[in-house]
Amino acid sequence: MAKFLIKRIGLIGITLLVVSLAIFTITEILPGDVAAVILKQEATEETLAQLREELQLNRPAHVRYLDWVGSALTGDLGASYVTREQISDVLPRRIKHSLTLALFALIFGIPLAIIAGVFAGIRPDSLGDRLVSTISLVGISLPEFVTGVLLMLLLSSTFHLLPPSSIMFPGETPLSRPLILVMPALTLTGVLFAYVMRMTRANVMDVMQTHYTRTAILKGLPLRIVLFRHVIPNAMLPTITIIAQNFGWMLGGLIIVENVFAYPGIGQMLLFSITKRDVPMLEAISLLIATTYALSNLVADISYAILNPRIRLT
Amino acid sequence: MAPKLHTNPNLSKHLKPLVWVINVIKELLKTSWRTTSGRIGLTIILIHIVLATVGHLFAPYSPTALNSNKAGDLISLSSPSWNFLLGTDQLGRDVLSRVMSGARSLILVSTCGTALGIALGSLVGMGSGYKGGRTDELFMRLMDGLMSFPSLLLALLILTTLASRPIDLPLIKPIWDELLIIFTIGFVNMPRVGRVMRSVTLSLKEMEFVQSARLRGEPTYYIIFREILPNTMTVVGVEASVRLSYAILLVSSLGFLGLGVQPPSPDWGLMIAQSRHYLVSAPWIALSPAAAVASLIIGVNLFTEGIRQARGLPQEDKP
């Protein structure tokens, strides 16, 4: 286990290093002068030179890269090209916003999905199962931006229940106006619900077929006890893994959802830094997302091994 | 057709891969058609394909035309009427015509991207699985690295870095946007397809027919393409239809984020993005493309679901 952990974490480290180098190289070979892109119309020979000096663009690329890695490892991610703010000052607030949204969606979605999955799985092909399965198929099929816009249309434009966008004013936190969280969280939940529900359903169906469950039913235990004592604990094992995997996957959904609702999290920041060619910001956010994604996959694998001793991690 | 092929043995040899592909598609369609989900899915897909191929002949207006009335004023944000069945958008363009012509580029780009992803993934997966050892280890770590990004983030990174250096060749310039997206989709799908193909290859390469080909002294490319590849076709088929639905999702999401086909070309994702400002006064601008993209993906997913049901495969969902 220790060996496995060291190997995996080492691999994640190498991957991140390669990824950071790749992003740096690619942005480096891009045509066009970063300074010119930032200044646009205000670009004169003088201001350009000044900005280049300020952003240290005159130094050779490999020196800048090594410099960046060195300071990144000590927690200094550099300053944004566009706003000139320190990234390590701006990013934590954004991360907090995104995390709030993600947790909100998980708290909403997971219990609901598990209940629906168990409900559908104990009676496969019943009317209830068909209904739940159809809902989940639609949930998987709808892109986040479609769900988001439909929710906006319904809850905000038609019934005026919720604010149409999740723009936050300076000094506000998502929790100070929880209403703005509802629609983004619901949108994220849509896909999450579908995945977790389908997995739970499949697992419950498997467990229902096992000998111990049949024995429990045949010896006359009430269904409630069979479910809570035998079926659910066993069916939950893979579901926990799926939740960990989905957490990483949700980050992709965050990019879309935050842009649909103008919610100020890392996803919105990412798109902003892409359109503005804010290389340090882009690099920081990409690495952050990649790290979270890799770590949640690692957690998924470990949880699977702990919950299921038959799996040996190598 | 058959005797004709025999007269030219070379032609029939080169057409063989094409024949496999056609057979696989036929087989998949048949399998899926056996289930209710499959039949519904295929019908939806068929409607979309028909609209995408011949829809423009029936589209009442040009998708990019700014329609104005006799007095010369733009007919913008007009609600659905006999003149404009699905209404007009903020610039007075006919929503129905735009939705119809948006289908073509989305379907074409997603399908080509999926095909590219399957081709690249098969090549990497089969080669790596067949070679084994160090090569395999290296390739799989590379694939793991690529998969440590959510696919949308990877697509965004590839697309933005490539998009800023357009290549000025006369032939490909007009379709540069589309080519970029196709490449991006192919690249994003490659590691996921590669994994599947590798595991199939690992089990196939121990089979007797592969072993005997090896003993006969056949070259590696022969074994991979002539012995292993034909036997992976069913797996490839299912994988392709799963990948296709993610490709459509990804392409339309990129469009929504403003990184897809550039305006004024109609793009469902972009239409939805722009419609957000008019949700209160003109909800139809959002609803039509939303319904279109949702139904297309639901159709593809139902089709896949049908194959899984008919073959008794488990539901696996890995984005």
**DSSP string across chain B:** -HHHHHH-HHHHHHHHHHHHHHHHHHHHHHHHHTSHHHHHHHHHHHHHHHHHHHHHHH-SS-TT---B-TTS-B-TTPPS-SSSTT-B-TTS-BHHHHHHHHHHHHHHHHHHHHHHHHHHHHHHHHHHHHH-HHHHHHHHHHHHHHHTS-HHHHHHHHHHHHHTS----TTTSTTHHHHHHHHHHHHHHHHHHHHHHHHHHHHHTTSHHHHHHHHTT--HHHIIIIIIHHHHHHHHHHHHHHHHHHHHHHHHHHHHTT-SSPTTS--HHHHHHHHGGGTTT-THHHHHHHHHHHHHHHHHHHHHHHHHHHHTPPP----
Task: Judge whether B65 lies within some domain.
Answer: no
> Which of A15, A115, A52, A37 is CA-nearest to residue B146?
A15
Percentage of chain A lying above the pLDDT 70 cut: 90
Cα–Cα distance between B123 and A244 in angstroms, integer?
31
- A164/A313: higher pLDDT: A164
Q: Which residues, including other chains, have CB under 8 Å from residue B57's CB and lie 6 or more apart?
A: none
Task: Judge whether B112 lies within some domain.
Answer: yes
Residues facing A79 on adjacent strands:
A86
Q: Which residues, including other chains, have CB under 8 Å from residue B107's CB and lie 6 or more apart?
A: B48, B49, B52, B248, B296
Cα–Cα distance between B266 and B273 in angstroms, integer?
12
Residue B1's pLDDT band (boundaries 50, 70, 90)? Answer: very low
pLDDT per residue as tens digits for the range B182-233: 999 999 999 989 988 998 898 888 889 988 988 998 888 888 888 888 888 8
Task: Judge whether B21 lies within some domain.
Answer: no
- At residue B125, the pLDDT reads 92
Chains A and B: how many Cβ contacts under 8 Å? 125
pLDDT per residue as tens digits for the range B228-252: 888 888 888 888 988 999 999 999 9
Is the per-residue pLDDT at A199 higher than 80? yes
Lowest mean pLDDT among A121-130, A301-310, B296-305: A301-310
Asked if the Cβ–Cβ distance from B148 to A195 is below 8 Å, we say no
Residue A86, classed as helix, strand or coil, is strand
CA dihedral over A198, A138, A248, A180, signed as positive or negative: negative
Is the per-residue pLDDT at B65 higher than 90? no
What is the number of domains present in chain B? 1
Which amino acid, B77? L
Residue B114's pLDDT band (boundaries 50, 70, 90)? Answer: very high
Lowest mean pLDDT among A75-89, A101-115, B94-108: A75-89
> Which of A173, A37, A191, A290 is CA-nearest to residue B301?
A191
pLDDT per residue as tens digits for the range A132-176: 888 888 888 888 889 888 888 888 777 777 777 777 776 677 777
Is the per-residue pLDDT at B7 higher than 70? no
Asked if the Cβ–Cβ distance from B276 to A152 is below 8 Å, we say yes
Q: Which residue of A has its CA nearest to B287?
A: A150
User: Which site among B187, B253, B268, B270 would you substitute to test the A interface, given the most A Cβ atoms closer than 10 Å to its Cβ?
Assistant: B253
pLDDT per residue as tens digits for the range B27-42: 888 888 888 889 999 9
Tell how far CA B284 is from the center of its chain: 27
User: Which site among A125, A149, A293 would you substitute to test the B interface, given the most B Cβ atoms closer than 10 Å to its Cβ?
Assistant: A149
- Enter the pTM of the model: 0.85
Asked if the Cβ–Cβ distance from A142 to B297 is below 8 Å, we say yes
For residue A32, list chain B residues with Cβ-Cβ distance below 8 A.
164
> Which of B44, B193, B61 is CA-nearest to residue B115?
B193
Asked if the Cβ–Cβ distance from B141 to A11 is below 8 Å, we say yes
User: Which site among A21, A145, A242, A276 would you substitute to test the B interface, given the most B Cβ atoms closer than 10 Å to its Cβ?
Assistant: A145
CA dihedral over A116, B152, B181, B243, signed as positive or negative: negative
Cα–Cα distance between B30 and B304 in angstroms, integer?
12
- At residue B193, the pLDDT reads 92
A150 with A183: CB under 8 angstroms?
A: no
* CATH number, residue B119: 1.10.3720.10
Is the per-residue pLDDT at B77 higher than 80? no
> Which of B318, B178, B313, B314 is CA-nearest to residue B246?
B318
Task: Judge whether B23 lies within some domain.
Answer: no
Asked if the Cβ–Cβ distance from B283 to A252 is below 8 Å, we say no
Tokens of B113: 């991207």
Q: Which residues, including other chains, have CB under 8 Å from residue B171's CB and lie 6 or more apart?
A: none
User: Which site among A140, A195, A199, A200 would you substitute to test the B interface, given the most B Cβ atoms closer than 10 Å to its Cβ?
Assistant: A140
Number of neighbours of residue B13 by Cβ within 10 angstroms: 10
- A274/B301: higher pLDDT: B301
- A153/B282: higher pLDDT: A153
H or E segment to which residue A87 belongs: helix A87-122
Cis peptide, bond prior to residue B264, ω within 30 of zero: yes
Angle, CA A276 vertex, CA A271 and CA A281 arms, to 5°: 65
Tokens of B301: 């997913």
For residue A248, list chain B residues with Cβ-Cβ distance below 8 A.
150
Closest chain A C-alpha to B304 CA, distance in angstroms: 11
Q: Which residue of A has its CA nearest to B289?
A: A146
Residue B96's pLDDT band (boundaries 50, 70, 90)? Answer: confident
pLDDT per residue as tens digits for the range A202-230: 888 888 888 998 999 899 889 888 888 88
Structural domain span for residue B276? 30-58+83-311
Task: Judge whether B90 lies within some domain.
Answer: yes
B275 with B282: CB under 8 angstroms?
A: yes
Asked if the Cβ–Cβ distance from B276 to A26 is below 8 Å, we say no
Is the per-residue pLDDT at B5 higher than 50? no
Is the per-residue pLDDT at A198 higher than 90? no
Cα–Cα distance between B199 and B188 in angstroms, integer?
19
Q: Which residue of A has its CA nearest to B152?
A: A252
Asked if the Cβ–Cβ distance from B319 to A256 is below 8 Å, we say no
- How confident is the prediction for chain A on average, in pLDDT? 81
Asked if the Cβ–Cβ distance from A149 to B317 is below 8 Å, we say no
